[in-house]
Amino acid sequence: EAGVAQSPRYKIIEKRQSVAFWCNPISGHATLYWYQQILGQGPKLLIQFQNNGVVDDSQLPKDRFSAERLKGVDSTLKIQPAKLEDSAVYLCASSLGGDLKETQYFGPGTRLLVL
Amino acid sequence: GQQLNQSPQSMFIQEGEDVSMNCTSSSIFNTWLWYKQDPGEGPVLLIALYKAGELTSNGRLTAQFGITRKDSFLNISASIPSDVGIYFCAGSYAGKSTFGDGTTLTVKP
């Protein structure tokens, strides 16, 4: 079974530029998560989707970050405009359903460096 | 928001030694999870705990859900070089997960 796919794996941009990340979850997984992992810290949830609906986006900086999952499958996360402090690894994860006991499977992440 | 204190921050051990790390919080959780993250990869779930007092093993790994629901520990017995990585605890409550900042484990052959 294929895992969670993310692209690109690496991205370097200048501050105030825009950037987008793509995630394709495991086939059949209804729940999709985007996390931000700053160097030396644990992942922090940005947004959680159940199919194509948003379940939790309380920690998403909505003035600059946006995410969508239009067809309930793959998802994009966008930052516009980027700031220096956005440098981090952006992890996508998926699970079968929204139940707390569902295992989350993480992708390899996209490493973003903002100069 | 809820915060987890994970300790130690890093550990340097000899192959064959046992390892213990823990997470504490001022808030209660319904679920405790332990993950391992290798360089350049996403975290992988090692053990999930769903009940206060629960003790669960996965091979050489053993984890416990603290009776107060505010803490958890992970033990690794007879460490081997491939145990190297960052170990994260995560607590879940009311559908929200909070991660600790990780314990970096180095194993010397």
Tell me, what's the pLDDT at A58?
Answer: 92
Chain A residues with beta carbon closer than 8 angstroms to that of B102: 40-42
Check CB contact of A81 with chain B, cutoff 8 Å: no
Tell me what pLDDT residue B93 has: 83
| A59, pLDDT greater than 80 | yes
pLDDT score for A101: 66
Q: Which residues of chain B have a CB within 8 Å of the CB of A100?
A: 30-31, 92, 95
Q: Chain A neighbours among B 68-97 (CB < 8 Å)?
A: 88, 90, 92, 95-97
Report helix, strand or coil for A47.
Answer: strand
Q: What's the rounded Cα separation, in Å, for the pair A66 and A64?
A: 7
Cα distances from A75 to residues A20, A21, A35, A67, B66, in angstroms, run: 10, 8, 13, 7, 36
Q: What is the dihedral of CA B95, B102, A82, A5, to 10 degrees?
A: -70
| A80/B42 Cα distance (integer angstroms) | 24
Is residue B98 within 8 Å of residue B6, measured between CB atoms?
no
Chain A CB contacts of B47 below 8 Å: none
Residue A94 carries which DSSP code?
E
Whether A98 sits inside 8 A of B88 (CB atoms) is: no
Q: What mean pLDDT do residues B20-30 have?
A: 94
Closest residue of A to B100, CA-based?
A42
pLDDT in tens, B38-71: 999 999 999 999 999 999 999 999 999 999 999 9
Distance from CA of B109 to the nearest CA of A (A): 25
The predicted pLDDT at position A99 comes to: 66
Most confident of A89-103, B17-31, B89-103: B17-31
* Closest chain B residue to the Cα of A93, Cα to Cα: B42
pLDDT tens, residue by residue, A80-96? 999 999 999 999 999 88
Q: CA-CA-CA-CA torsion for A81, A62, A24, B42, nearest 10 degrees?
A: 90
pLDDT at A100: 60
- Does the distance separating the beta carbons of A98 and B102 come in below 8 Å? no
Q: Provide, as residue numbers in chain B, all residues whose Cβ is less than 8 Å from the Cβ of A43.
A: 43, 88, 99
